[in-house]
Amino acid sequence: MERLQKVIANSGYTSRRKAEELITSGKVKVNGKIVKELGTKVKNSDTIEVGNDIIDNNKNYEYYILNKPRSIISSTEDEHGRKTVVDLIDTNQRIYPIGRLDYDTTGIIILTNDGNLANKLMHPSSNIEKTYIAKVEGLVNNNEIKKLREGVLIEGKKTAKAKVHLKKYDKKTDKSLVEITIHEGKNHQIKKMFQAINHEVVKLKREKYANLDLRGLKSGMYRKLTNKEVAILYSLIK
Ligand code: URA
């Protein structure tokens, strides 16, 4: 048994908020009867109608991994008409990205219409590991690496422990490549962490998200997750 508004939203028909509006305004029928009560529980065998549409509550969820290029927005639509990660994926389902990458950040982003999984993965308590490669100005010295590992202050709060390795320093360009794994998801977290040690990030790529990496996916390419990969993501939020 699930709440009616959740079943409608999870079906990809509309957002949770709009589903609630549809219910309270009397547009939703369960087994032929109008239901205006938010929180009404429904089961898979119930027939749910919104106006003339039948809601598919046994739907097949879709899960994608995308290698996001630069200059793409991580949301479902953009008020300035810029291309979004959703535009890159050929589907009729109402999918959306799990979390965000900045406009200029590249790499792994997962998209789905499974609201339950998405919400749980995005929740701060989910502790999902994300690995980034950051190209930053200057040489990041051992002391600074240690600071990043132990936590730095961003907006007055210390970041959690992170795994951090200097992969390369290019003397000619005076830039460092740093691999950094975090399990939080504060806004612009990686850029702010480097800001805290006075190194500006000039390029940022997310190379890993939980059990997933970019193997075989060139920039702009995507594929469906396998059932096994989805099952692993589910196992991480239990
Ligand atoms: N941290 C950032 O600063 N930007 C991203 O896009 C992701 C993590």
pLDDT, one tens digit per residue, over 175-221 is: 999 999 999 989 999 999 999 999 999 999 999 999 999 999 999 99
Q: Which CATH number fits domain 129-209: 3.30.230.10, 3.40.190.10, 3.30.70.1560, 3.40.50.10320?
A: 3.30.70.1560
User: Which range among 13-22, 106-115, 188-197 shows the weakest confidence by mean pLDDT?
Assistant: 13-22
pLDDT grade, residue 12 (50/70/90)? Answer: low
CB under 6 Å to ligand 1: residues? Answer: 101-102, 105, 188-191, 204
Q: Residue 44 pLDDT > 80, yes or no? A: no
Distance (Å, rounded) from C-alpha 210 to C-alpha 122? 12
Q: Residue 59 pLDDT > 80, yes or no? A: no
Select from 188, 207, 209 the residue to mutate for testing ligand 1; criterion: most ligand atoms less than 8 Å from CB: 188
Among the listed residues 143, 237, 123, 120, the one whose alpha carbon sits nearest the alpha carbon of residue 197:
143
User: Which range among 48-57, 89-98, 101-110, 167-176 shows the weakest confidence by mean pLDDT?
Assistant: 48-57
pLDDT at 61: 86
**DSSP class of residue 47?**
-
Helix (H) or strand (E) holding 205, with range, is strand 201-209
- Going by their DSSP bridges, the two strands 201-209 and 106-112 should be labelled as parallel
The partner residues of 177 in beta bridges, in order of sequence, read: 135, 168
Among the listed residues 112, 118, 104, the one whose alpha carbon sits nearest the alpha carbon of residue 86:
112
pLDDT grade, residue 125 (50/70/90)? Answer: confident
Residue 136 gets the label, from left (phi > 0), alpha (psi -120 to 50) or beta, of beta
Answer whether 150's CB lies under 8 Å from 133's CB. Answer: no
Q: Check if 213 is active-site.
A: no
Select from 66, 67, 75, 101 the residue to mutate for testing ligand 1; criterion: most ligand atoms less than 8 Å from CB: 101
Distance (Å, rounded) from C-alpha 12 to C-alpha 50? 13
- The CATH architecture to which 2-55 belongs is Roll (3.10)
Q: Residue 14 pLDDT > 80, yes or no? A: no
pLDDT at 116: 80
Question: Which is more confident, 54 or 225?
Answer: 225
pLDDT at 105: 98
Q: Which CATH number fits domain 63-125+212-236: 1.10.150.110, 3.30.200.20, 3.30.70.580, 3.30.70.1050?
A: 3.30.70.580
